[in-house]
Chain A
Amino acid sequence: MGSRRSKHKSNQKSRLSARLKKRQEAQARVQQAATPALAHLDLRPVPAPGELVEDLAVFTKSCREQLAADLQAEANAVSEAFDLTVRGEFDAAKERVKNIARGSIYSQWRLFIRGLIAFYHRDIDAARENWSRLDSARRPARIAVTLLQAETGVPEDVQHPRPQPLVTAARDLLNRSELFQEAKRIAAVRHRDPDITFAASQVAMLNEFYERYRPIDSGLVTRFAQACVRLTYFQPNSRVFDLVRKLPGPSHDPHWNLLSVAYYQQFRGSADTVRRHAAAYIQSDLPSLTQLPPQVQNALAAVLYVVQSEAGLFSDMESDYFGFAPPSASSLRRARNCLTLAIKRYPTYRKAHDLLVRFLEMEIESGDRSESAQAALEQEHVAAKEAIAAVFPQDTQTALWLIDHYFETDDLEKIDTLVRQLSNQRLDDPESRALPWKLKLREAMRLSRRKSGLVAAREALDAAESLWPAWLKRDWLPYLHAAIKLRGGDPARFDQLVLEARQACGANDLLHNVMTFSALQLMHLPGAQLKPLRTVIDDQIKQAERQPIDELCRLGSFFWDLVRTGLRHKGYRQQASRLGKSWVQRMERGTRVTDQEALQDTCLWAATHRFWRPTYGPRQPRWLARLSARNPRIALAVLEWLFDFRGADYWIREYSAQVELVEEAFKSENDPFYRFRMGRTLENAREAMAVYNEQRRRYSYDFAWDEDEDQDEEEMECDCPRCRARRARSQSSEPPAPDRRSSSSTNSTRTLFNLDDVDEDEEQEGGRYEEDAIPAAPADRSSGAEQRRDIPVPDPPNRRRETAFAEEFSDDDSMDAQPFASIIYKVFDQLGRERADEFLDLLRILGEEGKGTREAAASMARIERLFESVGLTEEDFTEFMEAGLEGAERMANFRDEFTPPPPPLTPNERRAQNKQRRKQLNQKNRKRR
C-alpha cells in the first residue's frame, strides 16, 4: 500500500516537473525569439511605489478583495472591459464601463477605455481627446502616453517621458509586422500539383506560427489557422488534413469533427471514419456546446445519427469491389437503431423517417428470417409509417399506404381518421384525388368477406365504377363484378361475365387467368376454390418463354395498374417475380415488341421492382437505353428507377437525354397521372443536376477522368480484364455521391425480388434495333462480384500468380514485368496492407514528380529503407527502379486488387465465373486467330 502511495507521489512529482520544464522551455522560446514583438510578451504590470490600490485592483485580485463592494464591482467592470477589447468586442466593452459614475475613482479607467477604443480604430484625435483628461500621476495616463508615443513617434509628455523599452514594445506589438510576414510566407507557398491546396510543409510552418503568434493576436492567428484547416478540405490528401485538424476548431466544432465527417464523406472506404467522427461529436463535443440553443443541438445530433446510419450501410457496400453488395442484416439493424435515436432527438426530421422506412423495407424484402421475426418487422414498418403520418399529416402517399394496410387489417376507425385528415387538404396528386374511388373499391372488397355483405359489396362496387379514374383502364372492372357473383354462389353468371370481359379486352389465356385470379382473391374467395386456377397460372408463367412477348407486356401493363393503384393481390409477388425475370430475359435477347403502350407500361412496372440489375452504378442495360431514348414514358420509368439509387445525383449526367425527352413530353402530356409523375421526376432531376454541378465544382480533381468523353467511351467499349480493372479504379475514386431520395420512394416497395439467376451474358445476343436510334449509353454486363474474381488475387507464395501478373504487363516494353511483379509481391507480403499503401504512395510521388525533384529523392530514399526493412537487397532496388517508374500507376491499380480473398462461391456464382472464364478464353482465342 505504502509503495503504491509513494509511486503515485513520485508519478505526480514527475508530471509536475515535466509541466514545469515545458513551461520554462516555452518561456525560454519567447525570450530567445528572434522577433522583437515576441520578446515583449513577458511584460507584466508591476505596482509602483505609492500607486493607488484601486488602480492595482484592475490587475491584482488580492487588491480587489480589499476594496468595498461597489468599488470591487467597478474594478471588475474595468477588468472585463479590457478582456472585451482584446476580443474586439468594443461596443460591449463600452457598455460594461458605462455605469461607472463621473465622480468615481474608476472614471479615469472609463475614459481610458473609451480612448483606447478610438485608438484601436486609428482615430488618434478622439483618443487624445479622451486621454487628455487623465490624471498624469495614474496608470491610465501613463499607458495612454506610451501608446501615443509609440504610434506617433513624438514624446507626448515632455515632463514625464516614458521609458524607451516600453515605447518600443508597444510599437512592435501594434505593428504586428512579424506576424503578418510569417502569415504571408505560409500563404505564399506554391504547389506544383494543382490538387494540393495546403502542403505538408505548410503544416509545420502553421503549427509554429500558431504557437508563436497566438499570444500577440489570438483572434487573427486562430482565424488564419482555421482558414488553413478549411483549405485542406479541398484536397484528397487525408494525411495533411489529419495533421492540420489538430489545431483548435471554431466554437461549434472545437475538434473539427463536423468538418471531418464532411471531409471523409467524399471518399470511398472511409465510412468507418465518418461514423467515428460523428459519434465523437455527439458524445464529446455536443454536450459542451451550451451556447447552442437546445433545438439546434437536438437537430445536430439527429443529422449526425442519420450520417452514422448511412455510413454503417455504406461500409458494408464498400466491402464489395464495386459497392453494390447488399447491406447485412446486422448493419441494417444498427442503422435502424441510429435512425430511431435521430427521430427521438428530433421527431420532425423527415429524412430520418424516410430512411427508417426504407431500411425496414430492405430488411423485409431480404426475408431471411422466421415468420414471427418477419411479422415483427412488418409491424415495425407499419409503426414507422404511422409515425410519419402523425408528424406529417400533409403526406398523402403515406396516408394512402396506411389506408390500404388498414383495409387489409379491417381497421375501419383508423381509416376514418386518415380520410378525415386527407379531406382537409388540397390534393394535387391524381392518385390521392382518386381516394373516394379507392375507398369504395376497398369497401366492396371488405364487404365481400361475408356472404351477408355481398349486396352491399355490389353497391360499393357500382359506386366505385361511377368514380373510376380516367387515367386507369377499365378492363379489370367486369372481372370484379364477376368475382362477386362467384362469391355469391352463381358460377354460371360468373362464367358468362368473365367470358364477356375477355372478349371485351381481347386478353389471351394468361392475362385472362391472372385478371380473374386477382379479382377473385381480392374479393376473398376461399383458397381451395382458387387453387386450380393458381396451378394453371403457375404452369403458364413457368412457360412464359413460349408466350408471345406482346402478351407478356400486356400482363405487365395489368400489373402496372395493380402497382400504381396499390391493389396488389396476395399471389402478386410470386407471379410478378417470374414474369419480370422472363420478360427481362426476352428483352435482353432483343425480342421485338409491337404493342408500344403495353411495353411502356411494363417498363414502368419493371422499374418499380428493379428487374434489370445495375452494373458499374445505376446504368440502364443497352436494350432499355434504346427504348428510353425514344419513348418519354419509358424515359420516365428509367429516371424513377435511377432516383431510387444511392448517388443518383452523380449518375444523372448520363441520363440527360432521358431528362430532355421527359421535359419535352411534359409540355404536351394529357394523362394527369403521368403529367404529375413527370413533373415530380423533372423536379428531382433538376435538384440532382444542381447537386452534381456543385460536386463537380467542388471536387474537380475527382472529375478529371470524365473530361475526355472520347476516352470514357473508349473505356466502356473495351471489356478486357485490364480495362475493367482500370474502370474499377476510376469508380473507386469517384467523388461522394450524397444520398438523396425522393419522398415517393418510401411509399412503394422497390426491390421485391432477387434476380440473381438472371443470366447477364444473354444481353450480348441482343441488339436488333437500329443503331442510329441508340443514344451513347455505356453498357457493362458483369456484376461486381464477377469482376473482382476476374482479377488475379495476389497470393505471394504462389509463383503462378506472379507469372500471371507479369503476363498482364508483358506487352509493355517500358518494363520487365517478371522481377517487377516478384518484388511487388514480396513487398506486399512482408509489409502488410497499410505499409504497402505507404509504399505505393511513395511510388506515386516518384512517378508524378520525376526523378529530379527533392520530393522524389526523399521518396526514393524511403523506398530504399522499406526495401531494406523487408530484406530486399540493393540489387533488388536497382532492378525495381529500372523496371520503370511507369509501374507506379500500375501498382496503384494493383493495390486496389490487393484485397482479402473473396468468400467461397455459391454454385450459381461458380457457374457464372466459369462461364465468364470460358468467354474470356474464347475471346482470347478469337483474337489470336
Chain B
Amino acid sequence: MDNAITAAMATLDVAIDASPEDVRGAYLNLVRQYPPDRDAEKFRQIHAAYQLLSDPIVQAESMLAPPSDHPDLHALIAAAEREPARLPKLVLLALGNQPNN
C-alpha cells in the first residue's frame, strides 16, 4: 500500500476511495495530456498506474504487500520542515482573543 498503490494513486491523482469510474476518468484525462507520442515514459507510468488501480485483486495484494524499502526518518523530518506548519483550529482562533481576555 505504501509503495505501489500510493505511487499509482499519486500518478493518477486519485484518492484511495475513488470509484472505478473516477479512476478511469482520471486516467483518460492524463492520457489526453500525455499521449504516448509526446511523452512515452510518462504515458507508460500512467498506464501502469491505471492497470494497478483498476484490478481490485492487484490492489488488495499491494495493500497486503510489505513496505519495499526502509522508511528514511531523516528524510521525512527534512520534508516536514520544508512544509508549512498548520496550527490547530481552536489555537488559531484563540490568537484573535482581545487583550483583556
Q: Which A residues form the contact surface with B (CB < 8 A)?
A: 40-41, 43-46, 48-49, 51, 58-59, 82-83, 85-88, 116, 119-122, 139-143, 146-147, 162-163, 166, 169-170, 173-176, 180, 183-184, 186-187, 197, 215-217, 219-220, 223-224, 227-228, 230-231, 233-234, 250-253, 258-259, 261-263, 291-293, 295-296, 298-300, 302-304, 307, 346, 348-349, 698
Extra A-B contacts (5), CB below 8 Å, given A120-B86, A223-B80, A231-B71: A173-B85, A261-B64, A291-B17, A300-B60, A303-B60
Closest chain B residue to A266, Cβ basis: B66
B70 to chain A, nearest CB (A): 6
Interface string of B66-101 (1 = CB under 8 A from A): 111011011011001101111111111111111111
Q: Considering the complex of A and B, which 6 residue pairs feature the smallest CB-CB distances, nearest first?
A: A291-B17, A187-B73, A299-B56, A120-B84, A139-B96, A48-B98
Kindly list chain A residues whose C-beta atoms are within 8 Å of the C-beta of B65: 262
Closest chain A residue to B5, Cβ basis: A252
A167 to chain B, nearest CB (A): 8
Kindly list chain B residues whose C-beta atoms are within 8 Å of the C-beta of A116: 92
User: Chain A interface secondary structure, helix, strand, loop or mixed?
Assistant: helix
Q: Tell me, in angstroms, the Cα distance from A609 to B91 when the chains sit together.
A: 72
Task: Given A43-B91, A58-B93, A139-B93, answer yes or no on A302-B77 (Cβ-Cβ < 8 Å).
Answer: no
Pairwise interchain contact A296-B59, C-beta atoms closer than 8 A: yes
Pairwise interchain contact B16-A291, C-beta atoms closer than 8 A: yes
Closest chain A residue to B80, Cβ basis: A220
Kindly list chain B residues whose C-beta atoms are within 8 Å of the C-beta of A219: 86
Pairwise interchain contact B70-A231, C-beta atoms closer than 8 A: yes
Kindly list chain A residues whose C-beta atoms are within 8 Å of the C-beta of B64: 258, 261-262, 300, 303-304, 307
Kindly list chain B residues whose C-beta atoms are within 8 Å of the C-beta of A346: 56-57
Task: Given A173-B87, A215-B88, A291-B16, answer yes or no on A228-B98 (Cβ-Cβ < 8 Å).
Answer: no
Closest chain A residue to B86, Cβ basis: A86
Interface residue? B36 (CB, 8 A)? no
B77 to chain A, nearest CB (A): 5
CB-based A-B contact count at 8 angstroms: 176
B42 to chain A, nearest CB (A): 23
16 contacts between A and B (CB under 8 A): A86-B87, A88-B83, A143-B93, A146-B95, A169-B95, A174-B87, A224-B77, A230-B71, A231-B70, A234-B70, A252-B16, A258-B63, A292-B17, A293-B20, A295-B20, A307-B64
Kindly list chain A residues whose C-beta atoms are within 8 Å of the C-beta of B16: 251-252, 291-292
Pairwise interchain contact A230-B96, C-beta atoms closer than 8 A: no
A28 to chain B, nearest CB (A): 19
One of B17, B63, B85 near A176 (C-beta < 8 A): B85
B99 to chain A, nearest CB (A): 5
Q: Tell me, in angstroms, the Cα distance from A291 to B67 when the chains sit together.
A: 22
Closest chain A residue to B97, Cβ basis: A46
Interface residue? B2 (CB, 8 A)? yes
Q: Tell me, in angstroms, the Cα distance from A243 to B99 when the chains sit together.
A: 46
Task: Given A230-B67, A299-B56, A349-B57, answer yes or no on A45-B2 (Cβ-Cβ < 8 Å).
Answer: no
Kindly list chain A residues whose C-beta atoms are within 8 Å of the C-beta of B15: 291
Closest chain B residue to A116, Cβ basis: B92
Interface residue? B1 (CB, 8 A)? yes
B20 to chain A, nearest CB (A): 7
Kindly list chain A residues whose C-beta atoms are within 8 Å of the C-beta of B96: 45, 139-143, 146
Kindly list chain A residues whose C-beta atoms are within 8 Å of the C-beta of B59: 296, 299
Task: Given A48-B97, A169-B91, A220-B80, answer yes or no on A233-B17 (Cβ-Cβ < 8 Å).
Answer: no
Pairwise interchain contact B86-A45, C-beta atoms closer than 8 A: no
Kindly list chain A residues whose C-beta atoms are within 8 Å of the C-beta of B45: none
Interface residue? B19 (CB, 8 A)? yes
Kindly list chain B residues whose C-beta atoms are within 8 Å of the C-beta of A263: 66
Pairwise interchain contact A46-B94, C-beta atoms closer than 8 A: yes
Of residues 43 through 57 on chain B, the ones whose CB sits less than 8 Å from some CB of chain A are 56-57
Interface residue? B61 (CB, 8 A)? yes
Pairwise interchain contact B85-A258, C-beta atoms closer than 8 A: no
Kindly list chain A residues whose C-beta atoms are within 8 Å of the C-beta of B83: 88, 220
Closest chain B residue to A46, Cβ basis: B101
Pairwise interchain contact A41-B91, C-beta atoms closer than 8 A: yes
B8 to chain A, nearest CB (A): 13
Closest chain A residue to B71, Cβ basis: A227
